[in-house]
Amino acid sequence: MTKQISQWLANKITLAQLPTVDWTLHEWLHFINNLPTDIKIERMAALDQTFDLTHSKNAEIAHAWYLLSVRAGYDVVYPAMSKYLVAIGRRKLIVPLYKELAQTEQGKVWALSVYQKARPGYHGLAQGTIDGILKK
């Protein structure tokens, strides 16, 4: 799989040539988590157009995609990520996103606005962790 990532990034294969039909959750996670964080927005858009990762029904895949998107500056995901953060309460899936968003002032402002809606649905431990991240 790492070879396939390198080949795609080097334009040696297309997204259509990736054998994604049979990929397991772990293969998808390996693929997304091993893409460079400085990936070009055009590549992110191509991935999204081909695989609709922004609207993934799998919470783990969505988490990995949103995390990469925030790091890469692919802001198209923000409306879907907002719904995700309100609907998902698992710390392992939300805390890394809030931490990454809090790295910039703009991201922190956006995260606070989403968190105000999401906070009542979070467990007390998640609330305490994210309160600390966003210094509410």
Please write the tens of the pLDDT for every residue from 43-99: 999 999 999 999 999 999 999 999 999 999 999 999 999 999 999 989 999 999 999
For residue 84, is it within any domain? no
Q: Where are the alpha helices (DSSP H) in 20-77?
A: 25-33, 41-51, 59-72
Q: Give the domain range for residue 47.
A: 1-76
- Report residue 129 as tokens: 């962790």
In order of 24, 38, 69, 113, the CA distances from 1 in angstroms are 12, 19, 20, 38
Average pLDDT over residues 94-106: 97
Rounded mean pLDDT of 102-111?
Answer: 96
Assess whether 4 and 29 both reside in one domain.
Answer: yes
pLDDT recorded at residue 136: 56
Q: Are residues 15 and 54 in the same domain?
A: yes
- What is the count of structural domains for the chain? 2
How far, in whole angstroms, is CA 25 from its chain's centroid? 15
pLDDT at 34: 96
Same domain, 1 and 49: yes
Q: Identify the CA nearest to 35 among candidates 55, 57, 51.
A: 51
Of 32, 49, 76, the residue at which a domain comes to its end is 76
SS3 108: helix
pTM: 0.94
